[in-house]
Amino acid sequence: MNKQVMSSNLLSLEGVHTHIGAYHILHGVDLQVPRGELTMLLGRNGAGKTTTLRTIMGLWPASQGRISFGGEDITALNTPAIAQKNIAYVPENMGIFSDLTVKENMLLAARSAKHAAQMDETRLQWIFKLFPAVEKFWNHPAGKLSGGQKQMLAVARAIVEPRDLLIIDEPSKGLAPAIIQNMIDAFQQLKHSGVTILLVEQNMHFAQQLGDTVAVMDNGRVVHAGRMQALAEDKALQQSLLGLAL
Amino acid sequence: MKLEEDIDTRPLLLVPVLALLAWPLIGSGSTWLTLTVAGLAMGMIIFIMASGLTLVFGLMDVLNFGHGLFIALGAFVATSVLGAMGDWTGSGEWWRNMVAVLPAMLIAMAVAAAVGLAFERFIVRPVYGQHLKQILITMGGMIIGEELIKVIWGPQQIALPLPEAMRGAVLWGDAAIEKYRLLAVAVGLAVFAVQMWVLGRTKIGLLIRAGVQDREMVESLGYRIRRLFIGVFVAGSALAGLGGVMWGLYQQNVVPQMGAQVNVLIFIVIIIGGLGSTGGALIGALLVGLMANYTGFLAPKVALFSNIALMAAILLWRPQGVYPVANR
Amino acid sequence: MFNRLISNDAPRSRLLAALLLVILLGLALAPFLFPGVKALSVAAKVLIFVVLVAGFDLLLGYTGIVSFAHTMFFGIGAYGIAMASNTWGPTWGSLAAGFALSLALTLVLSLAIGLFSLRVRAIFFAMITLAVAAAFQTLASQLSDFTGGEDGLSFKLPQLLLPSTEFSDAPFLGVSLDGRLLCYYLLFVIALAAMLSLLRIVNSPFGRVLQAIRENEFRAEAIGYRVVVYRTLSSVLSALYACVAGAMLALWLRYNGPDTSLSFEIMMDVLLIVVIGGMGTVYGAAIGAVLFLLAQSYLQDLLRLASEATTAVPLLSSLLSPDRWLLWLGLLFVMSVYYFPTGVVGRLRMRAAPVSSGVAR
């Protein structure tokens, strides 16, 4: 294997299969997530995108194949161990603890802080600028936030401490267009900070603005992988892969 | 369980409402006061025993039908320890009594915790996620434990008399209020305060509260929640042990079946309170304690049924208990 | 014809079929095959427990929920007969009335408990039934005017069932034809009817819905079956069988008290039998009951011998004391739930048909 090629990919999936009970969902997924870039994972409903993310995080064990992170094999690790490798996961349902305050949600995500005071103040200020709602509702129960604000809190939680990889599942789902634009701006800023991001999306507009690399899934496999630029320019390819052209 | 804003206050009123309703039925103010303090004391002791169980269920989704075993263990260990320290308990001085009682409590808690660790490892862990098997196996575990208690301490009841200085009552007007009951209320409040502090002000408490809501997300944030489970289970068992000591002293005797007997009351308490809620367990326990004492005075034959009627009434109002914990 | 009788629920294993046949014949001919008072008592107990446990299996094995109130209905059935005989005299009429009343009470109580607690979660049901059963047991010991309190009630049976009633002077095949014999065969007929009717129930569309609910409650509700209704019906039916078993117990013992029918030990026995015999099989109740009662009756003697033999090691000796029977029961129970969840029937069926045709769990 070309070592040069391998080390430029922070996360790599090779021939990953996942079974959930009797259902065979992933049929040999090959996915490369280059370091420092934002990789978009696209596909129709039911293509296996969420399953892929959950398999990476160890929430569903891979029945076959190999997942490596930073050159290390993480296929068989359990979820907390994977998260401790500095991978942050924002699930589709956001995973917000609604009975806890926004502050407590953030504190929970800050593994190295024992009290709120121990969280990195500078970093928090940066997060407040990206997501003003997080500062505004700091002491309120997170359940009181609107859908868009919860989404922002979910992402804020993922970056409260520096992480090497962010795995995010459909952050724009159900959000109003204005909020989506906020989200896009926030992600642009995140990208500049050098963190690697793997993002699942259905919103092509969102995807186009942010993606560097793109992988398209169908029926539990990655059927196309390449630069987002190339896909954005090829309407015919978009039509055949996703059934729509933008 | 909510902390800062929006504490749902209506259930808090249940306790004073029950107390006030009983007053006219009882008639005499001094009798009412005695019964109320007795009820609160009993309630506090039950709370100590129940709080562990409800947290274990809320966090781990494990229903331990054998919780009563730790209570019985604690009580029996106390009989051995206090029995061996006769000259300390026989003294009329408070501090001498405490020299006997405090170690009894600590040793009881330690033994219950140790047995709890084994119980979690060998009885509970193999059946995580399977409620039916949990019910069957934990029940089996309790039977085994109860029989082993009979082997070690004998099958008959053993007296557990109160130390000298804790006997007797203080007079408040016409009402005689037993000293031990006041102590029980104090200890119960202390345990509650410590639990609230841990749950509200420490990171571990934060983890527990979050884990009760969404276990998977807590793991995704990088925390080994399995270890937390074990910790909570062991803590719950230790608390049950402490409760056992206090219950034994309250009744002034212990029998091997006491675990199974108290189990029923505890289940009623956590159903009333809402599975997983500490605050709910406190309210439920106080209600049950008061109810048991009021009906014990007014209509002794229906004492246990009255608690079931209470549970039914509350379930009609809030089918998931007074403070239901989200997500299940 | 035979298949219709057992509702097409074949044993599916030659060994199992053979065992069941042996048990059936053994029970049918017990008075003749096993002379002696003790043996007949064990046989009668088997009949009673078969009905009690098979009814419980409907709830636990087929519907997937635990009820600790099963012994409560057992007690109601027994007290019904006992109190009727004491209050209205030992006639068939009064016994029938008592039985009817206990069935009615069972129906009402089980309906109330079911509708109330099954609305929310099956776990609530387990806890609530535990509480109600405990309360009932206390009540039974306290209302001594009605129930004879702790001492229980001794009562007479109708003329026909009394041991002193002889139907012929000469013994038949070594057994005297008296009322006791008749009583035994009455129990036998009831037990047989109960088993066959249960087989009918679990193999009917109703029974299949129960199993669907047990496997995936959410899906069953989504398809359109009101889960609460089915679960409540199942718990009511199960309670009724317990009530019948209670009546059988009272008829045989001519005595009933809180410990005879309401004790928690009996609940444990039921749980153990259903687990060892095999949950969700109905036949498991029969196999389990025979195994268990044989063991209980004769193994306690063994324990006594072992205990006496080890008096040199006091701890061992007290562990093996026959009074500590429950300890070994408990251990056996826990191990069965882990290692032996399909029970004897399940094991035999698996050996007979390696490509599993049974219910996947």
Residue B328's pLDDT is what?
A: 41
pLDDT exceeds 80 at position C148: no
pTM: 0.83
Q: What is the mean pLDDT of chain C?
A: 85
Three-state SS letters, A81-118: HHHCCCEEEECCCCCCCCCCEHHHHHHHHCCCCCCHHH
Q: Do A97 and B214 touch (CB under 8 A)?
A: yes
pLDDT exceeds 70 at position C120: no
Residue C355's pLDDT is what?
A: 56
Residue C354's pLDDT is what?
A: 65
Question: Which of B217, B226, B327 has the highest number of chain A CBs within 10 A, making it the mutation to test binding with A?
Answer: B217
Strand partners, A167: A89, A198
Which residues between 265 and 304 in chain C have a beta carbon less than 8 angstroms from any beta carbon of chain B?
268, 271, 275
Nearest to B266, CA basis, from B53, B42, B12: B53
Averaged over C155-181, what is the pLDDT? 77
Which residues between 218 and 257 in chain B have a beta carbon less than 8 angstroms from any beta carbon of chain A?
218-225
pLDDT exceeds 50 at position A2: no
Task: Domain of residue B37: give its range.
Answer: 10-317
Distance from CA of A82 to the nearest CA of B (A): 7
Averaged over C194-220, what is the pLDDT? 88
Instruction: Give me the half-sphere count of Cα atoms (radius 13 Å) on the Cβ side of residue B278.
Output: 27
Round to whole Å and give the CA distance between A158 and A54: 16
Confidence of residue C140 (pLDDT cuts 50, 70, 90): confident
Residue B219's pLDDT is what?
A: 94
Domains in chain B, number? 1
Question: CA dist C237 to A121, B21, C117, C118, C156, Å?
Answer: 65, 40, 16, 15, 29
Q: Do A100 and B326 touch (CB under 8 A)?
A: no
Which chain A residues are within 8 Å of B217, Cβ to Cβ?
91, 95, 97
- pLDDT, tens digit (0-9, with 9 covering 90-100), for C308-341: 888 877 778 878 887 788 888 888 888 888 888 8
Averaged over C247-276, what is the pLDDT? 88
Better-predicted residue by pLDDT, C249 or B88: C249
Confidence of residue B4 (pLDDT cuts 50, 70, 90): very low
**Inter-residue contact C228 to C118 (CB < 8 Å):** yes
Residue B1's pLDDT is what?
A: 44
Helices C227-253 and C70-88 pack at an angle, to 10 degrees, of 50
pLDDT exceeds 60 at position A5: no
Nearest to C187, CA basis, from C103, C244, C237: C244
Is C142 in CB contact (< 8 Å) with chain B? yes
Q: Do B305 and C139 touch (CB under 8 A)?
A: yes
Question: Which of B220, B225, B278 has the highest number of chain A CBs within 10 A, making it the mutation to test binding with A?
Answer: B220
* Domain-embedded: residue B2: no
- pLDDT, tens digit (0-9, with 9 covering 90-100), for B113-123: 999 999 999 88
pLDDT exceeds 80 at position C281: yes
Biggest distance spanned by C-alpha atoms of chain A: 54
pLDDT exceeds 70 at position C358: no
Residue A88's pLDDT is what?
A: 95
CA A18 to chain centre: 19
Q: Retrieve residue A6's tokens.
A: 């391998």
CA C71 to chain centre: 9
Residue A7's pLDDT is what?
A: 63
- pLDDT, tens digit (0-9, with 9 covering 90-100), for B206-234: 998 898 888 899 999 999 988 898 999 99
Confidence of residue A4 (pLDDT cuts 50, 70, 90): very low
Confidence of residue C113 (pLDDT cuts 50, 70, 90): confident
Q: How many CB pairs under 8 A join A and B?
A: 66
CATH number at residue B63: 1.10.3470
- pLDDT, tens digit (0-9, with 9 covering 90-100), for B60-72: 888 899 999 999 9
- Percent of chain A as helix, strand, coil, to the nearest 5: 40, 30, 35
Is C122 in CB contact (< 8 Å) with chain B? yes
Question: CA dist A101 to A107, A110, B9, Å?
Answer: 10, 14, 19
Residue B327's pLDDT is what?
A: 46
Residue A117's pLDDT is what?
A: 86
Domains of chain C: 2-166+174-352 (1.10.3470)
* Domain-embedded: residue B209: yes
Which chain C residues are within 8 Å of B143, Cβ to Cβ?
268, 326-327, 329-330, 333
What DSSP line would sit under B201-245, residue for residue? HSHHHHHHHHHHH-HHHHHHTT--HHHHHHHHHHHHHHHHHHHHH
Q: Where are the alpha helices (DSSP H) in chain B?
A: 14-26, 29-60, 68-84, 86-90, 94-119, 131-153, 179-201, 203-213, 215-220, 225-251, 258-273, 278-298, 303-317
Question: Which of B61, B63, B132 has the highest number of chain C CBs within 10 A, making it the mutation to test binding with C?
Answer: B132
Residue B326's pLDDT is what?
A: 52
* Domain-embedded: residue B323: no
Confidence of residue C294 (pLDDT cuts 50, 70, 90): confident
Q: Tell me which CATH code domain A3-242 carries.
A: 3.40.50.300
**What number of H helices and E strands is found in chain C?**
18, 2
Q: What is the mean pLDDT of chain B?
A: 87
Q: What is the mean pLDDT of chain A?
A: 89
Averaged over A71-94, what is the pLDDT? 93
